[in-house]
Amino acid sequence: MNIGIDLGTQRRQVIRRVAVWRNGHPEIIPDEEGNRSFASYVSFSRDGRLVGGRAKLQQSVNPKNTIFGVKRVLGHGFRDLEIQEDIRKSPFSYVDIGGVPHIEVEVRDRKESFAPEEIIAVQLSKMVRMAEAYTGEKVHRAVVSIPPGFSRIQRQAVQDACEIAGLEEPYLLGETSAAVVYYGSYSWAGAGLGGGGEKRMLVIDVGAGTTSVSAMVTEEGVVEVVSASSNLRLGGSDFDNAHQAKARSSCERAKVLLSSSLKASVELDISGDVHYIFPISRDELNVRCESKFEAILDQAAQVVSQSSTSKSPVTKSSIQEILLVGGATRMTGIVDELKAYFSETNPSITSVRDLDEAVVFGCAIQAAVLGEGKIHGPRDWLDTILLLDVVPQSLGVAVTRGNDAGEFKTLPSDGGSPHERAFSRTLPRNSTIPTKKTETFSCSSIDGISESTVSIQVYEGESDIPTANTFLGCFELHGIRSLPNSEVRRIQVSFDIDARGRIVVTAEVVGGERGQTRSMEVRVGRMPQYEKDRLKNRAREWDALDRQYEALTQRRNNLEEYCYSFRDGVEGVHEGIAQCLQWLDDTASRSVTNGEYTVQEDSLAAALQRILPPGYIIMRTGADQAQES
């Protein structure tokens, strides 16, 4: 069985969702409390680890050991300016380990650190268990949503988290692409993907903590992303007043109400019986959020502008449909800004069904398409759907400044200062993948030297300065001989990237001797395989502890429920029941072993045996489910 997972992003109200294709449609998998969304919190205590809604309840009483929102720091260095505010405002502690932010918590009276990938892996494991419990089938593979603007390192970090969680070969799908897949499943079925012809679309996904925008072209079974961008610092939570802690939840309720009503009230519980209520209109909310709406519009305009270099540009005048995704797009101010900006061409503005769940539904559909079985019924066209993604950021190599060789840029030797180099974009941002592109360079000056070494330094980013971009790796060509008559030796560098995002960089000496070709697969993850293996083993150990903790918790709940079932219905056992309930209260804040539960059960059973009629079977509370550590 394959499943779809939506890795939502928000600072506090962090939500994950998981879905599966069943009975001809995508279906949400609820958590153990029946919730359709999964609170992505992980909390550590002396007794063990809590995940999900139960962990979120620990935030007020155990804030330093309750973790959330780590997706924002994935793929970042500890000193990156972009995440400094998150680190500074976090109620739990971040520590610098090898330049990478780790979360430090107290587990069983000692400090332990966890990589962000490990925390996300905990949540992924939980969702896999939820899916297997819900369907009775084993999960083999997952389609996981990511912001389409995620860098190569951020994407690898998500893949590492999946691997730690035991999910092999995860399929990473852009959130906007997932939403279009779901949209097409009910709006284009029967008419062919693209509604019967080529369509140029702008997809705007404003979630709780991230805004993603993609320009797309759809036609005859193909969904082609032309350009895309993501802002992990702009979303629905930014429309709430983040600086008014007491007002936050009330403001959020008012914001939701104003999506369908013209007026709402914000009620604050100041102290005791003192309350403050003030009205707020939709127009007032839109005015206060105007700068956020403009930021979304600017991002959309930038995506459209970037598509101009594509083979299939999506221009402002060519957009036929704007698809809105994410709960925050219910705000009328966003629609008003879009209508004003596109007033000359007036494209249709459509909200996808199930705004909050469209992404995970799209992931579930794509997961079914990737599975061994086929999707049957009215959505047969989904079996032939082809998703074409783009390179999120430019890929290229470092070259020396000045281009001394004329028409060819010059590759640096193994010496020289990094500050004397520039960034050559071999594969520009928003290039459609899979693709292969080759660029020809010259060697550094080798006059008077019989042999030379050329360094191929690979970067990802948009800065003209290589060191301001993300370094992906390097390799060298040795023993390059000079040519007669002072001719310049040339080297071809190729970037080959497949549909899964796997990159192979190859350098070859033009007209060189045999063996003067080298290749490097770009492995951008900062987590070595031995570390992933270590974290996998630790994850299995924690999973075993989780099962034990859950069994002990269930045993406590069963014992308490058993006590209450007899307390008011059987005369003569009040004292024994009261003693057992008092013991449960006294031990609520400490660890309890199976042996202690057995003592209480035996004592309660003895009291009941004296009162109940002969032959009455006294139930046990599940001692066989929990094992001693």
Structural contact between residues 427 and 394, judged by C-beta atoms closer than 8 angstroms: yes
Tokens of 344: 């000359």
Q: Which of 160, 205, 337, 357 is catalytic?
A: 205
Residue-level pLDDT at 61: 85
One CATH from 2.60.34.10, 3.40.50.300, 1.10.1740.10, 1.10.10.60 for 395-521: 2.60.34.10
> What is the structure's pLDDT at 249?
59
Domain boundaries for CATH 2.60.34.10 within the chain: 395-521
Q: Does domain 2-169 have CATH number 3.40.50.300?
A: no
The encoded tokens of residue 380 equal 């047969």
Choosing from 31, 86, 175, 356, which is the catalytic residue?
Answer: 175
Residues in Cβ contact with 562 at an 8 Å cutoff, skipping those fewer than 6 apart:
604, 619, 621
User: Where do the CATH 3.30.420.40 domains begin and end in the chain?
Assistant: 2-169, 197-228+290-352+379-385
pLDDT of residue 597: 86
Residues whose CB is less than 8 angstroms from the CB of residue 78 and which lie 6 or more positions away in sequence, other chains included: 87, 94, 96, 99, 100, 101
What whole-number distance in Å separates Cα of residue 397 and Cα of residue 137?
47
Residue ranges in the chain whose pLDDT is less than 50: 192-193, 241-246, 376-379, 403-406, 445-450, 623-629
Q: Is 205 a catalytic residue?
A: yes
pLDDT of residue 176: 93
Question: What pLDDT is attached to residue 212?
Answer: 92
Q: 354 near 189, Cβ under 8 Å?
A: no
Say if CB 15 and CB 40 are below 8 A apart.
yes
Q: How are beta strands 503-509 and 38-39 bridged, if at all?
A: unpaired
Q: In what order do the strands lie in the sheet with 386-388?
A: 348-351, 321-325, 199-206, 211-219, 222-231, 386-388
pLDDT of residue 105: 92
241/244 Cα distance (integer angstroms): 6
**Known active-site residue 531:** no
Distance in angstroms (rounded) separating the CA atoms of residues 543 and 546:
5
Task: Provide the pLDDT for residue 572.
Answer: 57
pLDDT score of 269: 59
Query: Which pTM value belongs to this model?
Result: 0.80
- Identify the burial level of 106 via C-beta atoms within 10 angstroms of its C-beta, where 0-12 means exposed, 13-18 middle and 19 or more buried: middle
Decide if 6 is catalytic. yes
Single out the catalytic residue among 56, 71, 409, 532: 71
Burial-class residue 67 by CB neighbours within 10 Å (0-12, 13-18, 19+).
buried
The per-residue pLDDT for 298 is: 93
Q: CATH code for 197-228+290-352+379-385?
A: 3.30.420.40
Q: Are 54 and 65 in contact (CB under 8 A)?
A: no
> Residue 359 in contact with residue 179, Cβ under 8 Å?
yes
Q: Is 71 a catalytic residue?
A: yes
